[in-house]
Chain A
Amino acid sequence: MPRAWRCGALAMVLFAAPAVAQTVDGALDGIERPAAPGDPVRTAEIDQRTAEIGATLRCPICRQQSVAESSARIAREMQDVIRTMLMEGRTAEEIEAYFVEAYGPWILLKPRAEGMNLIVYAGPGLAFLLGGFLVARRIRRGRGRDDEERAEPAAPDHLRKADRRWIEAALRES
């Protein structure tokens, strides 16, 4: 092995810091769980559902990355927990509850629609309703005044004398 290899490997083991999203501090521990195709209970469907549930859980040491996306060791371990629980026949709700129990509601990338959190779900809808109402009123008001409005076209921003002289000067200049 070249020196670089040993230094790199040693350094990675010693200093592995879970500071940023892409920390791969599990990198040198070998393989915790090779994705073995021969695994009897593990099916493509289980893998699919593991990924789906993983996408709704936050990787605890990353910045806004889901368990399914992150390559951090803890995220991969959580992924294994999800898979194991699914293979034991637990439901998605039970798995979610398990992680909320362990980490608090913070672990859910999509907050539960209950209590105060209802605002974050209802807020956009209410805002669009209110905005839509204001816009509709404005458009209807315009239609009401249709006739008088058409007789009198939108007043133009008139040019002041000074502006006209300035334009003339600028044109002469160019």
Chain B
Amino acid sequence: MLSTLGYASVIGALLAAAVATAAGGWAGLSRSGGEVSAALARRAAYFAFFAMSGGMLVMEVALLTHDFSVEYVARVGSRETPTYYTAISLWSSLEGSILFWGWILAGYGALFAFTRRREFQALRATGEPLTALGGGLAHGLRTTPLVLGVIGVVQLFFFGLLAGAANPFGIVDPAPANGPGPNPLLQNHPLMGLHPPMLYFGFVGMTVPFAFAIAALLRGNVEARWLRDARRWMVAAWAFLTMGIIGGGWWSYEVLGWGGAWAWDPVENASFLPWLTATAFLHSAMVQERRGMLKTWNLTLMIATFLLTLFGTFLTRSGVIDSVHAFTEGVIGPVFLAFIAVVAIASLALIGWRGNRLRAPGQVESPASRESAFILNNLLLVGFTFTVLLGTMWPLVVEALRGDRISVGPPYFDQVASPIGLALIFLMGVGPALPWRRAGRRQLERSFAWPAIIGAAAGLGAFALGVGYFLPILTIAFAAFVLTTIAEEFRKGIAARRRIAERSFLGALRDLFSRTGQRYGGYVVHVGVIVIALAISVSWTWKTEREMTLRPGERLDIKDYEVELVEVWAHEEPHRFVIGATFAAYRDGRGIGEEQPRINFYKATGQNIATPAVKSSLTSDLYLTLMAVDPEGGDHATVRAIVNPGIVWLWIGGMIMGVGALIAIWPWGRSRVRAAGAELLADPAAAA
């Protein structure tokens, strides 16, 4: 029953996507008419969301009621799994996660249609459509249905997968009485409820800027409003992706037990690649906004970002990453690859066809200008993307060409990423202080004297205080340099607002955010990045590790911590056995509570998962992993203790980045929109 209902929902969404594609494409590309089909495309976008929500709901009901006649439930469900993990097991396996992906995609389509509802209302309210000279839909009204049409094409692919190769609603007959439950790693920590959805919202969100790019290419036209809107969608998706990546690091830290957050695993790299190109776009878009340059380049970045999200999903979901030979085993692998190829070729052809019409009028006038800084930023970010892609793919290339198996792992990536990362951080301090077009020598001296002095002083100070390593010294110096330029930007901005508008300090700050959120929100993001860079460099350099076997009452001391084994214990839960050890932890001789690292044994799949115990503080974390216990019952336990200095600041930095992105896209009141509209009417040149 549920299977049929769910499958019907998917088919309904598929039909809606087909309608949206056809109607949106017609309204967007035809020379006359198009009013009816534009309205139709909008309705189809809403309906697709409605239908996919139905499908999602059906799957959730099937999961929560343990309806094992539904194939997906039979594979990832079990009666013993706690309800929370049952609910989120929607994204614990391939078909469910594609369903979730499709639902979010439909949501983005509907949300986009909703944000443009005024255009459709204008159509209806005036009775007669706002027509261009040649009749039919006005030029400015054709982009919206076209974007909906392109989103429709992507929806066709994903809903098609759900209806075919990745159908989660297959029927199992006779239905089994119970299932194995989700992959143990995925039901071991509550963060699983947060980190994957964030990533999905980020990945899928890249579809909207992609649709903007394709629509612009098809229409051969990039307007100022188009760019502003495309970038807002990109910032939103980027923010989700950032949270997803950092949340993934946090999950890895809390669950995997090796005491780190990022291992350059192919799956992690797959999420990092589109993040890099999206970040590049967010910067180069500003060059287009101010100087009208880099239009084609920006479109390329938007398309590349979308392709990388598909490629990342392909890499991680097809099994190709473990070995090229696993490729044929995945059903959806070839389908995904074909879609990626079609999108890539079609986009390239479009860029080749329309590139000339988008030719940039402006020029970079001086290496010492903000546009140069942005271009350099793009060079670094895209070079970074290439490097990570090369390292991730290299084992596959070697295996395909020579049949040898090799690894490219953290030591390689750390080595290549450190200089690129440091260069990017340095540029964060340079860019904001450079003016557009060109900077004179005096101006350069004035802007950079203090930041350079403070940066150098911070580096020397760190060295004097006994920091004996190159990487952290450089990071600290650059961080001080960047923070000084950012502080100076805020100081100048706030002073100007206070002078002009006679605002209070906080009022002036609010003005900066509400009027120039892109810029000042961006600076807040930069502060977050600096915090993360410092956390990484400090925790890498001073991470301390010790492993010992203890009997009850014995102590292990590490740095300023001491750990005493209290007892080893075991208990049984419906879905797992748990063996754990209780330790009393002390810091500087003072008790800081009990820690219970454990080993969970999942009955259904026969897997052991070690769950670390983490005691966090702003200065350092105490991280305990249970390595082994006495099989005869609680006489001794082997524990690995890690002291991770400053790692909490990774998560704090991530939150700061999120706040910055929120400032950049916050709808600071409609008055601003009206003001912008009035501005456009009064001065067409302001659109440039």
Residues of A near any B CB (own CB < 8 A):
1-5, 7-9, 11-13, 15-17, 19-31, 34-35, 51, 55-56, 58, 63-66, 69-71, 76, 104-111, 116-117, 119-120, 123-124, 127-128, 131-132, 135, 138-139, 141-143, 145-146, 149-150, 154-171, 173-174
Q: How far is the CA of A96 from the CA of B118 in the complex (A)?
A: 66
Give the chain B neighbours of A127 by CB distance below 8 A: 383, 386-387
CB–CB A166/B122 < 8 A: yes
Contact of A66 among B409, B549, B571 (CB under 8 A): B409
CB–CB B258/A70 < 8 A: yes
Q: What are 27 A-B pairs with beta-carbon distances under 8 A? A: A8-B601, A9-B570, A12-B601, A17-B607, A21-B256, A22-B609, A24-B599, A26-B628, A27-B628, A55-B411, A64-B263, A69-B260, A71-B257, A106-B406, A108-B407, A109-B411, A111-B412, A117-B394, A119-B394, A123-B387, A124-B390, A142-B363, A143-B365, A143-B366, A146-B363, A149-B362, A154-B293
Q: How far is the CA of A104 from the CA of B403 in the complex (A)?
A: 12
CB–CB B571/A28 < 8 A: no
Interface residues of B in 620-658 (CB under 8 A from A): 625-631, 633-634, 636, 638, 640
Give the chain A neighbours of B259 by CB distance below 8 A: 69
CB–CB B361/A154 < 8 A: yes
CB–CB A16/B608 < 8 A: yes
Residue B121 at the chain A interface, CB threshold 8 Å = yes
CB–CB B684/A4 < 8 A: no
**A111/B625 contact (C-beta < 8 A), A124-B383, A131-B383, A174-B670 known:** no
Residue B264 at the chain A interface, CB threshold 8 Å = yes
Nearest CB of chain B from residue A96's CB, rounded to whole Å: 12
Q: How far is the CA of A166 from the CA of B408 in the complex (A)?
A: 55
Nearest CB of chain B from residue A129's CB, rounded to whole Å: 10
Q: How far is the CA of A166 from the CA of B260 in the complex (A)?
A: 54
Besides the known contacts A162-B133, A170-B677, A171-B674, 10 further A-B residue pairs in the complex with CB atoms under 8 A apart: A30-B631, A34-B548, A106-B404, A109-B410, A119-B390, A127-B386, A141-B363, A143-B365, A143-B366, A150-B365
Contact of B407 among A21, A51, A58, A174 (CB under 8 A): A58
Nearest CB of chain B from residue A22's CB, rounded to whole Å: 5
Q: How far is the CA of A134 from the CA of B293 in the complex (A)?
A: 15
Of all chain A residues, the one with the shortest Cβ separation from B121 is A173
Give the chain A neighbours of B606 by CB distance below 8 A: 11, 15-17
CB–CB B264/A64 < 8 A: yes
4 pairs of A and B residues whose beta carbons are closest in the complex: A109-B409, A8-B577, A156-B688, A15-B606
**A160/B408 contact (C-beta < 8 A), A8-B577, A120-B390 known:** no
Interface size class of B (residues with CB under 8 A): 35 or more
Q: How far is the CA of A55 from the CA of B629 in the complex (A)?
A: 25
Residue B572 at the chain A interface, CB threshold 8 Å = yes
| Chain A CB within 10 Å, residue with most, of B118, B266, B406, B548 | B406
Give the chain B neighbours of A64 by CB distance below 8 A: 263-266, 409-410
Q: How far is the CA of A138 from the CA of B379 in the complex (A)?
A: 13
Give the chain A neighbours of B257 by CB distance below 8 A: 22, 71
Q: How far is the CA of A141 from the CA of B185 in the complex (A)?
A: 55
Residues of B near any A CB (own CB < 8 A):
118-119, 121-122, 125-126, 130-133, 138-141, 184-185, 222-224, 255-260, 263-266, 291-293, 361-367, 372, 375-376, 379, 382-383, 386-387, 390-391, 394, 398, 401-402, 404-412, 415-416, 545-549, 570-572, 577-579, 599, 601, 603, 605-610, 625-631, 633-634, 636, 638, 640, 670, 674, 677-678, 680-681, 684-688
CB–CB B133/A20 < 8 A: no
Nearest CB of chain B from residue A123's CB, rounded to whole Å: 5
Nearest CB of chain B from residue A80's CB, rounded to whole Å: 12
Contact of A154 among B266, B362, B404 (CB under 8 A): B362
CB–CB B684/A116 < 8 A: no
CB–CB B130/A165 < 8 A: yes
Contact of B138 among A26, A29, A165 (CB under 8 A): A165
CB–CB A27/B599 < 8 A: yes
CB–CB B383/A63 < 8 A: no
Q: How far is the CA of A25 from the CA of B610 in the complex (A)?
A: 10
Contact of A164 among B390, B546, B681 (CB under 8 A): B681
CB–CB B628/A166 < 8 A: no
CB–CB B630/A30 < 8 A: yes
Contact of A142 among B260, B365, B578 (CB under 8 A): B365
Q: How far is the CA of A9 from the CA of B55 in the complex (A)?
A: 42
Give the chain B neighbours of A19 by CB distance below 8 A: 607
CB–CB A168/B640 < 8 A: no
| Chain B CB within 10 Å, residue with most, of A19, A76, A119, A124 | A124
Contact of B684 among A27, A109, A150, A158 (CB under 8 A): A158
**A157/B687 contact (C-beta < 8 A), A4-B577, A5-B633, A163-B139 known:** yes
Q: How far is the CA of A145 from the CA of B364 in the complex (A)?
A: 9
